[in-house]
Homo-oligomer: A and B are copies of this chain.
Amino acid sequence: MTTELTGDLSDVLRNRRSLRILDPEHVLGDAQLARLLRAAQWSPSAGNSQPWGFLVACRGDETHDRFVKHLSAGNRSWVPAASAVLITAHQVASGPEDDAPAFSDYAMYDLGQAAAMLTVEAGLLGLTAHQFAGFDHDGVAEEFGVPEHWRVTTAIAIGTYGDPSAADPALVERDRRPRVRKELSEFVFAGTWGASAGL
């Protein structure tokens, strides 16, 4: 495990963090919101299947009000302050339409890619994107009529960093914890799984 990001990495990835202290006054404009979703739109996918969908909930709107009821207890303390929450879903079977595209085994992977591209675009716009899965997925699927061949997967809280002095100290402590990762030697191999690639 390593706790410091040493070595070269582009600033947008180096500075990415999943933060909890969000400015409850910040409003995300439609142009920025569209730009985030365009990042997902142009993400790669297996056979260009594009097996992703998003429900948009902006703080104060009806979708947001209906979504926050489904948050886990732990996420109720910080998610509602986000400027927007994007609920994600991936396709898990072909649809009922006659011309439905074949289901791809890579749908969950590709949704992850789209979420990451969206997260990168958020960083480039000076926004923070914090993904979470702690909410009632079945409840959300029912609430918003998500079809059986799609699965609600994660949600992404979008916002700007808020004022720590006005925030719950427990959240401030979480946001200030060191970032910890496996060393490259623990997950990058050559020749045989587990054997060092010399990086």
A contacts with B, residue count (CB < 8 A): 76
> In the complex, what's the smallest C-beta–C-beta distance from A99 to chain B, in angstroms?
13
Closest residue of B by beta carbon distance from A107: B108
Determine whether the beta carbon of B53 is less than 8 Å from that of A193.
yes
Complex Cα spacing A189 to B57, Å: 9
Complex Cα spacing A192 to B62, Å: 11
Among A8-16, A159-167, A168-176, the stretch that binds chain B is A8-16
Interface string of A140-158 (1 = CB under 8 A from B): 0000111100100110000
Complex Cα spacing A198 to B108, Å: 26
Determine whether the beta carbon of B108 is less than 8 Å from that of A184.
no
A18 at the interface (CB under 8 A from B): yes
Interface string of A109-123 (1 = CB under 8 A from B): 111111111011100
Determine whether the beta carbon of B13 is less than 8 Å from that of A34.
no
Complex Cα spacing A5 to B7, Å: 34
A127 at the interface (CB under 8 A from B): no
Complex Cα spacing A197 to B120, Å: 22
- List residues of A whose CB falls within 8 A of some B CB: 5, 7-10, 12-14, 16, 18, 30-31, 33-35, 37-39, 41-44, 46, 48, 50, 52-57, 61-63, 89-90, 106, 108-117, 119-121, 124, 131, 133, 144-147, 150, 153-154, 179-182, 184, 187-194, 197-199
Please give 5 more A-B residue pairs, beta carbons under 8 A apart, in addition to A9-B42, A10-B121, A54-B188: A30-B199, A34-B199, A109-B154, A110-B112, A120-B120
